[in-house]
Amino acid sequence: MQRSPYFLLLGLLVTLLLVGCRDKQIRFSHRMEGTWEITREVITLIKPDGSTETTVDRENAGVLELNDDNDDKFFLNYNLTVDGSNYSWVNLPFQCDEERKRVLFYYFYCDDIFGCDMIATIEEDKPRRQQWSFFRQSGSEPGGTVHRKVTWVLEKM
Amino acid sequence: MTRALLFFCLLPFFTIAQPTHHGGLVLRGGYEYSEFTGSDFNDFVRNYNAYYGGNMKSPMDTLALTASSHPEMGIGVRYYSGENFGFSTSLILNYGQRKFGTESTFANDIVTAADFRVRDWTAQIDLGIHIKKVLFLHGHLAGRFRRSVLDLGYYYQDGSYSLGNEYDILGVYQANTTTLDVGGGLGLKLGPVFIPVSISFPTNAFSDDGLLTLMDFDKRQIRWNDLPRDFETWVNDPASLDLDEGFVRAQSFRTWRINIGIELLIGG
């Protein structure tokens, strides 16, 4: 039996496997660093009976800037401007989750530690195009709760 | 037990004097039948259904204990010495994964979808004997790492899917379990093909004693949700949830298992 070539091959395969398993969050962070234009914003009300009402559908809705000023491999800082909004988001933490299925905007709705974050579901994840949606309860009608869905299409500038 | 261990430790020395050694690289494909050792997630399902009761059009089904059974593939090395009788050993690295899930529908047609994905990495060392290079008998130790991920999301009435935080229960929950498994098995060698069958049981070595849970958390440690077993108490009075029994524990995803495979032995 020739031992050395087989053990060498096994060792090489194990090494390749480990190298290939780079953290998803770090890879997403590298992809997202930069300036993204919100090329489309759609706001939809989802009614209890399944019908929907689109209240906003506009292009060039704002700009999302993500930078790595604090050298944290998992987190970026976000600066967000949304046209027509009274809010401003400056230098706040942003990350994706470990499975790269959601993005987390910390202190999005308010300044408190709890209850102020916005978590959006990643619907499209490409190097220069992203689509995210986030939801809130928005009142009620006969039949149940109305939900407000905001969808952003982002393209890298 | 001590005598058996001593026998297996000394066995190689009886075979070293024999002139013939065989073995080589192993490519493996197989299937793992496994059963969860705990049913914590099913407790969540039952409690969730009970809480929403009449507001559900169709409740969530509990998961079968065998839900995480899956095909597997692996690579390794196998070595044996002697002609009619001798020592046999192997080191095999295996990988397998499985997706499964369950869902419920509220009366307003919102669907709660619980989608699991489990991924298993196993490093197994076999030690044993062979008879005429055809029948192999062995005991084994295996290091086993399982990563379980649960996407608990809503499908809204228009088909939109959300894992967001508009409701606290939604999220991506994760649990990692590391076990030292022990077991035994046998194998048949037919030319370059080896057919092993083995059974394994998780030990309490490396156990977290139930402290780790199926949890949705972020690296800032600002927010985390342990998936509750007692959903009603979690909704109404979360501070009173029992810390030991109130949440879905990571160790409930440990399994005992039966593995059967086909290996191609390259080199001897």
Q: Which residue has the tokens 């009788």?
A: B85
Inter-chain residue contact A13 with B77, CB threshold 8 Å: no
Least confident among A1-10, A53-62, B173-182, B187-196: A1-10
Q: Output the six-digit token pair for A32.
A: 């997202």
Give the gap in angstroms from C-alpha B220 to the nearest C-alpha of chain A.
9
pLDDT of res. A66: 96
Least confident among A111-115, B36-40, B70-74: A111-115
pLDDT of res. A114: 81
A44 touching chain B per CB within 8 A: yes
pLDDT of res. A113: 80
> Looking at per-residue confidence, does A69 or B152 come out higher?
B152
Inter-chain residue contact B160 with A133, CB threshold 8 Å: yes
Q: How deeply is B6 buried, as exposed, middle or buried, from its count of CB atoms within 10 A (0-12, 13-18, 19+)?
A: exposed
pLDDT 10s digits, B167-203: 999 999 999 999 999 999 999 999 899 999 999 999 9
Interface contacts A/B by beta carbons within 8 Å: 97
CB of B172 within 8 A of CB of B216?
Answer: yes
Least confident among A80-84, A86-90, B15-19, B258-262: B15-19
pLDDT of res. A86: 79
Q: Which of B25, B161, B162 sits opposite A6 (nearest CB)?
A: B25
pLDDT 10s digits, A63-75: 999 998 777 778 8
- Cross-strand partners of B32: B70, B259
Enclosing H/E stretch for B210? none
Quick check: B13 pLDDT over 70? no
> In one letter, which amino acid is A55?
T
B189 touching chain A per CB within 8 A: no
Quick check: B32 pLDDT over 50? yes
When pLDDT is averaged across residues B72-90 and rounded to a whole number, the result is 93
Contacts of A104 in chain B (CB under 8 A): 218
Distance CA A69, CA A76 (A): 8
Return the percentage of chain B with pLDDT > 90, whole number: 74
CB atoms within 10 A of CB A103: 23
> Looking at per-residue confidence, does A37 or B242 come out higher?
A37
When pLDDT is averaged across residues B254-263 and rounded to a whole number, the result is 95
When pLDDT is averaged across residues B42-56 and rounded to a whole number, the result is 94
pLDDT of res. A1: 43
pLDDT 10s digits, A99-152: 999 999 999 999 888 889 999 999 999 999 999 999 999 998 888 899 999 999
pLDDT 10s digits, A72-87: 778 899 999 998 887 8
pLDDT of res. A146: 95
pLDDT of res. B1: 52
Quick check: B223 pLDDT over 70? no
Quick check: B43 pLDDT over 90? yes
Residue of chain B nearest A143, judged by CA positions: B108
Contacts of B21 in chain A (CB under 8 A): 1
B268 touching chain A per CB within 8 A: yes
The dihedral formed by the CA atoms of A135, B250, B98 and A97, expressed in degrees to the nearest 10: 40
